[in-house]
Amino acid sequence: MLSTRTVPSWQVWECPPAPGIVNMATDAALLASVGPDMAVWRWYSWARPTVSFGRNEQIKGRYSAESLARSGFDAVRRPTGGRALLHDQELTYSVVLPVARQIGWREPYRAISTLLLEALREVGVPVESAPPRLGQRPDGPVCFDAPDAGELLLHGRKLVGSAVWRQDNVYLQHGSILLADRQGDLADAADAPLPPVPPAAALNRVAGAEQLPALVARLKLAISHRLAAWNESTALPLAFAPNDTLLQQIERETSQFSRDTWLWRR
């Protein structure tokens, strides 16, 4: 558990579907705006199938605007690290929280992974944490082709992909919990041949299409209960409401994330 001295108050922000540029701009704005007395767990989804690339991922010669458009995908570069990921039919979260300088990024990463593991098991998804022997810095071009240490597996396959970034005293983590597996479609969206993308895990292997919405709702509630425990409270976390300052920051970040010089810089 994260120390409440480090994270005084968690809030939850449920966002409607949005374009990838807006989703990344919102997380970047939170990263730039969160104060020492606030942490935000944000749920969101994507208005269109979107490929996101890691902050420093090399994509020139592998993908192009034309190849992605032919596949019907939008594209965006994340403020976090990691590798290419297709966002479609997934439950997406971001976490933004203050972390003291003396605390390494692995502490919040482990805490959030443990929270997700416990919540998923509570709702009947038998996930396991990827051991270090599977977590040797994957060097493939696709996020879900291999698990990093601490990422969550379902029947040996990666269910939750995550990426992080730390900026001064603030930590950002992105995560994708697959509802259905479309990661293999990334191969068709590439200009250059990619190694075969192994199947990923997905929640539709645990619950049918009719049961998925109820499973997602129970998972969100299980996570809110754990955030309440981190708040040392029995009350569920407050709903986050963006103020005018944050909304203005989102507009500025949207301009940045929409630039080709950011998306295609590597």
Q: Which of 256, 257, 158, 137 is nearest to 202 (CA)?
A: 158
167 DSSP β-pair partners = 170
Gyration radius from the chain CA atoms: 18
Place of tokens 């493939």: 140
143 is catalytic: yes
DSSP 41-104: EEEE-BSS-EEEE-TT---BTTB-HHHHHHTT-EEEE-SS---BEEESSEEEEEEEEE--TTS-
Q: Are 135 and 150 in contact (CB under 8 A)?
A: yes
> Which member of 143, 177, 219, 250 is catalytic?
143
Q: Are 166 and 172 in contact (CB under 8 A)?
A: yes
Residue 238, amino acid: L
Q: Which residues are catalytic?
A: 143
